Amino acid sequence: MTEYFFGDTAVLLGRSLRHITRSVDTIITTTIMPIAFLLLFVYVFGGAIDTGTHSYVNYLLPGILLITIATGISYTAFRLFLDMKNGIFERFQSMPIARSAVLWAHVLTSLVATLISVVVVVLVALLMGFRSGAGAGAWLAIAGILLLFTLALTWLAVIPGLTAQSADGASAFSYPLIFLPFLSSAFVPTATMPGPVRAFAEHQPVTSIVNAIRDLFARQPVGSGIWIALAWCVGLLVVAYGLAMVTYRRKIS
């Protein structure tokens, strides 16, 4: 059964990746908004924001990477919605393939597309003056955190992709996720926020994840912060995966 799952997932992944290569504008679109935020905050607002650091682009980049991921996974929901409406899932059910392979193909496609978008954003940040003395171990830790965060949000995107009544509804769920970094330490230190906003910002997942990535980039001690960030990522992933699979079984039953 396992060998069928991996084989079926590989075939369906190839199908999804071909769709991506035929619509390169999808990847371009997912990078435009994060890059626009990067340019806007560094060159327009950056001079008025006191973060206690010498380079605002270094401070800002971790949050922009999370926005890049949140922007990209909206297309996962959109592609799933189209497959549901076009009857692709019904056709696959009549074939001797692992049922969960269909979802995993979409999820892995999202990982590939998001990886490309993240690399593009980092390259733009480098052109804008981003620098990091992080070693290979720190970069691997950052990649691991971003991978877990992408998986968590992608499985979350599966739910509206399966249940939405319209294409706009399928992708619109990502808007709150894109907005969430603005209520965190991604753009300004939480100490500068009013009391209630600060309390929310300091106890939501984006702040923990952003702070951990920022410390890794800056070669600062991460302490327990990285474990809190990983706990948020893994916790969100487990919940999102469980809800997505329950929703999928209900839709195909």
pLDDT confidence of residue 158: 87
More confident residue, 253 or 137: 137
Instruction: Provide the residue range defining the domain that includes 115.
Output: 2-252
- Which pLDDT value is given to residue 224? 85
Mean pLDDT for the stretch of residues 58-63: 92
Residue 159 pLDDT > 80: yes
Q: What mean pLDDT do residues 60-68 have?
A: 93
Report whether pLDDT(142) > 80: yes
CA distance 187 to 168: 28
Q: What is the pLDDT of residue 1?
A: 44
What does the alpha-carbon distance between residue 102 and residue 12 come to, in Å, rounded to a whole number?
A: 7
Which tens digits make up the pLDDT trace of 96-107? 565 667 778 878
| Residue 134 pLDDT greater than 80, yes or no | yes
Distances (CA, A) of 219 to 121, 185, 208: 21, 18, 16
Task: Label each residue of the chain as H, E or C.
Answer: CHHHHHHHHHHHHHHHHHHHHHCCHHHHHHHHHHHHHHHHHHHHHHHHCCCCCCCHHHHHHHHHHHHHHHHHCHHHHHHHHHHHHCCHHHHHHCCCCCCHHHHHHHHHHHHHHHHHHHHHHHHHHHHCCCCCCCCHHHHHHHHHHHHHHHHHHHHHHHHHHHHCCCHHHHHHCHHHHHHHHHHCCCCCCHHHCCHHHHHHHHCCHHHHHHHHHHHHHCCCCCCCHHHHHHHHHHHHHHHHHHHHHHHHHHHHC
The pLDDT confidence band at residue 2, using thresholds 50, 70 and 90, is very low
Question: What is the tens place of the pLDDT at every residue in 180-238?
Answer: 999 999 998 888 889 899 999 999 999 999 999 999 998 888 888 899 999 999 999 99
Is the distance from CB of 201 to CB of 63 less than 8 angstroms? no
- Average pLDDT value over all residues in the chain: 83
Count of domains forming the chain: 1
The predicted pLDDT at position 173 comes to 77
Distances (CA, A) of 71 to 32, 38, 100, 159, 215: 10, 14, 24, 16, 24
Q: Confidence band (pLDDT; 50, 70, 90) for 74?
A: confident
Tokens 């487990």 locate to 238
pLDDT for 20 beyond 80: no
